């Protein structure tokens, strides 16, 4: 029985070091992509491993995956990982590993110490300037030049120097002997130097023997040291050639002797690809059987077919017995890769073959950059739970994927399902203004009579989003335009609240009640005025809204504009015949409100529209009183000018004048202004307090000073007694205020009680 030669002693120690120090290596490798390039350049990994690693997002995940693959490939791969690869990419980390191995060497004290040397000694074949050489390989022009030079010389760039075949020194006859199967002639003429010889196509003798299926010659060549993984000009190994020709026994021999069945030729094809191309199903079965035996839980042929979307190959593999749900080292199935890569045809093949679909697969498909792959998953998978389907439906609505939404509904997903905030897909589409989605949902039969927990309808939400097309669609489908929510707001109220002026006409023309009121008796115009939404207000007035509509407090929209100091809104309302003298429940007019809030421009506009400057509220206060409270001299001047100064002595129900309030609130400058306009300095209120009493009681020194020092015309009566028989001095002495001492001193000096 033929056996392959095993000249190298298998040392498990490099694997042991890698396993022992795995966590330290995962944390210490800073650039896994750079390291991967080194591993590929040194033929430790095949180029397709890059794609496998690309599925991992974080540095530590990539590092962990690379180390697992190395361990699975055995001792030689692990040894080469440490030197030269880790040495070049992470020299400090390599030094740590080297120190660790040295310490172990000291402790074990047996023959294994020599084998540990693999991690310590320089590889004599590796160039001294290897890091520089590796950098140059990345440099495109220089690298291309080198590659051309290498090809010209017929060297194999994917082999290390130690395994490079020698330049052909054998005669043509020896290749003919192999091609014709003449073993005895080969045995007579074969020299040691011929075993690695190349013909004009860069084929070795083993390539030729494998191509022709000469088993005895293959076994003889391998026993003499022929390499199984040398690549010819097309990048094909002897296994490629045997598989291509359908030589099953030749394939068995090569596999038994360690030939790599995942080796890629220049076109990126494995031996299995060539067998499939030539319909050699027996070779496919053989390779799959070997894969299942020796490469369990690793990236396999079906995974590769899924990544490259080779659906025909996938069909052949499945027919030959490949497992639909076989997982690789990272737990990914072929369908996982098909979904991630957008391999639609292969995904269909796998699903038709019964590939399993779970929530993670659905998530992967949904988040991929290939929306059509999700539809395929829906169409071909059989056992997706309703919870998964509904969850994805809402996420598809959020992402505006109307095609996926339609596919989900066609698959039987509940179109009126509720999410965690009790919104249906239609409510969510309306709230986010997704017109195409809303149209799909309505056409698919969504119930647009369902409301949110706050009783908002789909129409309320569409209006709030400013979605004219959805609003129009809902109205065309017969949705009632005056439905109310929990606050009794109609969609027109919502348009006013969110300043959606463009939708007002649409709603009004559909029958919206323009003066409908909420629980607080707010009409849409109230809301627009209160929020300063002039676009909506203009549209509402244009469509006939009542400018003098009253809310629960009997305030008109003009009251609300005056409160905000919104001159534009006030002017618009006044031009629409809003009553400048409308009274609220406290009998305040908009002029009271504007004066109270200090809005000068609105005061002017109201007076220009015949606002009554002497109008009294339920406390008898005029706008002048409120302006005095605020100390607004400009508004006081305008009001006095409008009243031709006749209103300066207007009194409220407590008989207080504007001067009383100016004193009480400490507005010294205003006191002087009012006195200049002729205000009575000793006017008495209902408690017989003069303005000076008020200033002393409140502790306003500047106000008291202005009154005491007034010298033009009537002077402040320092001895005036109020209803409690108290003079201003006694009031000041009685009330503990911040400025009490100053006021008392000022009064005593003025009254000559003290110097």
pLDDT of 374 reads 84
Tokens of 293: 């035996």
Which residues of the chain have a pLDDT value below 70?
A: 1-12, 55, 106-172, 383, 755
Question: Which secondary structure element, helix H or strand E, spans residue 362, and what is its range?
Answer: helix 359-367
Residues in the chain: 755
pLDDT of 119 reads 59
* Termini Cα distance of the chain: 136
pLDDT of 753 reads 82
Q: Which residue has the tokens 């490099």?
A: 14
Tell me 170's DSSP state: S
pLDDT of 107 reads 66
pLDDT of 160 reads 34
pLDDT of 645 reads 92
Tokens of 599: 């809005």
Model confidence, pTM:
0.62
Tokens of 294: 């020796």
Closest CA to 506 of 527, 526, 534, 536: 536
Give the integer Cα–Cα distance in Å for 492 and 726. 61
Give alpha helix (H) positions in 399-533: 402-410, 425-431, 435-443, 458-464, 468-476, 491-497, 501-509, 524-531
pLDDT of 173 reads 85
pLDDT in tens, 256-279: 998 999 899 999 899 999 999 999
pLDDT of 118 reads 53
pLDDT of 198 reads 94
Phi-psi region of 148 (alpha: psi -120 to 50; beta: other; left: phi over 0): alpha
On whether the CB atoms of residues 671 and 662 are closer than 8 A, the answer is: yes
pLDDT in tens, 476-535: 999 999 999 999 999 999 999 999 999 999 999 999 999 999 999 999 999 999 999 999
pLDDT of 755 reads 65
Question: Which secondary structure element, helix H or strand E, spans residue 553, and what is its range?
Answer: none
**How many other C-beta atoms are found inside a 10 Å radius of the C-beta of residue 738?**
9
Give the integer Cα–Cα distance in Å for 361 and 366. 9
């Amino acid at each position: 029985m033929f056996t392959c030669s095993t000249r190298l002693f298998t040392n498990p120690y490099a694997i042991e070091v890698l396993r022992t120090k795995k966590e330290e290596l995962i944390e210490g490798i800073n650039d896994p992509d750079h390291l991967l390039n080194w591993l590929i350049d040194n033929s430790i990994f095949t180029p397709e491993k890059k794609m496998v690693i690309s599925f991992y997002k974080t540095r530590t995940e990539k590092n962990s995956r690379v180390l697992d693959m190395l361990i699975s490939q055995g001792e030689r791969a692990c040894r080469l990982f440490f030197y030269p690869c880790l040495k070049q990419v992470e020299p400090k980390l390599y030094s740590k590993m080297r120190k660790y191995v040295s310490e172990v060497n000291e402790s074990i004290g047996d023959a294994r110490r020599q084998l540990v040397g693999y991690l310590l000694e320089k590889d004599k074949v590796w160039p001294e300037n290897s890091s520089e050489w590796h950098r140059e390989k990345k440099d495109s022009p220089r690298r291309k030049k080198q590659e051309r030079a290498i090809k010209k010389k017929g060297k194999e760039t994917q082999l290390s120097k130690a395994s490079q075949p020698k330049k052909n020194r054998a005669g043509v006859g020896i290749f003919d002997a192999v091609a014709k199967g003449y073993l005895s002639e080969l045995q007579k003429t074969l020299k040691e130097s011929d075993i690695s010889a190349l013909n004009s196509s860069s084929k070795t003798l083993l390539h030729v023997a494998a191509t022709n299926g000469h088993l005895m010659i293959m076994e003889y060549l391998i026993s003499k040291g022929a390499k199984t993984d040398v690549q010819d000009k097309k990048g094909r190994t002897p296994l490629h050639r045997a598989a291509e020709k359908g030589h099953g026994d030749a394939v068995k021999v090569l596999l038994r002797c360690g030939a790599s069945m995942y080796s890629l030729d220049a076109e990126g094809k494995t031996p299995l690809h060539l067998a499939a191309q030539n319909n050699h199903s027996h070779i496919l079965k053989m390779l799959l059987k070997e894969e299942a035996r020796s490469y369990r839980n690793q990236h396999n042929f079906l995974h590769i077919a899924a990544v490259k979307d080779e659906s025909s190959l996938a069909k052949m593999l499945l027919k030959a017995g490949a497992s639909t749900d076989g997982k690789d080292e990272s737990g990914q199935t072929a369908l996982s890769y098909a979904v991630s890569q957008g391999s639609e045809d292969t995904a269909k093949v796998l699903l038709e073959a019964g590939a399993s679909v779970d929530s993670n697969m659905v998530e992967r498909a949904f988040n991929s950059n290939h929306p059509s792959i999700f539809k395929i998953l829906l169409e071909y998978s059989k056992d997706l739970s309703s919870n998964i389907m509904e969850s994805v439906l809402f996420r598809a609505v959020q992402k505006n994927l109307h095609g996926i939404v339609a596919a989900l509904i066609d698959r039987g997903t509940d179109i009126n399902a509720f999410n965690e905030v009790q919104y249906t897909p239609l409510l969510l589409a309306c709230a986010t203004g997704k017109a195409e989605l809303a149209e799909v949902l309505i056409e698919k039969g969504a119930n647009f009579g369902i409301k949110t927990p706050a009783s908002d309808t789909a129409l309320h939400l569409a209006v709030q989003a400013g979605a004219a097309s959805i609003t129009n669609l809902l109205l065309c489908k017969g949705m009632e335009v005056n439905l109310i929510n929990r606050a009794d707001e109609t969609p027109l109220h919502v348009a006013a609240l969110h300043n959606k002026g463009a939708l007002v006409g649409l709603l009004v023309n559909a029958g919206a009640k323009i003066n409908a009121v909420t629980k607080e008796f707010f009409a849409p115009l109230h809301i627009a005025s209160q929020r300063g939404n002039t676009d909506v207000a203009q549209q509402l007035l244009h469509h006939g809204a009542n400018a003098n509509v009253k809310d629960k407090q009997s305030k008109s929209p003009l009251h609300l504009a005056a409160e905000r100091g919104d001159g534009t809104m006030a002017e618009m309302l006044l031009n629409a015949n809003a009553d400048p003298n409308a009274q609220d429940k406290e009998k305040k007019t908009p002029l009271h409100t504007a004066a109270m809030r200090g809005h000068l421009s609105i005061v002017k506009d109201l007076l220009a529209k015949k606002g009554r400057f002497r109008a009294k509220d339920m406390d008898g206060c005029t706008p002048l009183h409120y302006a005095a409270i605020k100390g607004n001299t400009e508004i006081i001047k305008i009001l006095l000018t409008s009243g031709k100064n006749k209103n300066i002595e207007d009194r409220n129900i407590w008989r207080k004048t504007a001067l009383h309030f100016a004193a009480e609130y400490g507005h010294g400058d205003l006191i002087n202004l009012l006195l200049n306009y002729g205000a009575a300095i000793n006017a008495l209120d209902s408690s017989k307090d003069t303005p000076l009493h008020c200033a002393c009681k409140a502790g306003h020194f500047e106000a008291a000073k202005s009154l005491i020092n007034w010298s033009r015309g009537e002077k402040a009566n320092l001895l005036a007694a109020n209803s409690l028989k108290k003079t201003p001095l006694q009031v000041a002495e009685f009330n503990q205020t911040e400025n009490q001492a100053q006021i008392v001193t000022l009064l005593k000096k003025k009254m000559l009680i003290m110097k």
